[in-house]
Amino acid sequence: MEDTGNTDIEIILAVLAVQHDVCSAAQQIRLRKNSTTTAYKLHPGVIGTQLAEEAGGLTKLFYWLGKPFMQSPKSGTETPIYLATSEEVTSASG
């Protein structure tokens, strides 16, 4: 499995750079301390969409074996929508 830790940090720093013009990482950290911007990274889990139904071979086999344990597309959108719209999480970041 690929380590995405560095990529995640790069994405967060890129978002901060766009919001505060392009500046150094140290400047971004100082700006973040005074910012009301929050950033979230989430993985909704395995969602049962039709993407793998059209695949072949083992991918399709594993899709059908795992489908009973997958979330529905509607259920998979609940957390991202909550984070994007809820007032309860405006003071948190993570």
Nearest CA-CA partner of 31 in 19, 41, 42:
19
Enumerate residues 6+ apart whose C-beta is below 8 A from 62.
52
Question: Is the pTM above the cut of 0.85?
Answer: no
Q: How many CB atoms lie within 10 A of CB 6?
A: 8
The pLDDT tens digits along the chain (94 residues) read 455 556 677 777 776 666 555 556 666 666 666 666 666 677 888 888 887 778 888 888 888 898 899 998 888 888 888 888 888 877 766 5
**CA within 13 Å, CB half, 47:** 13
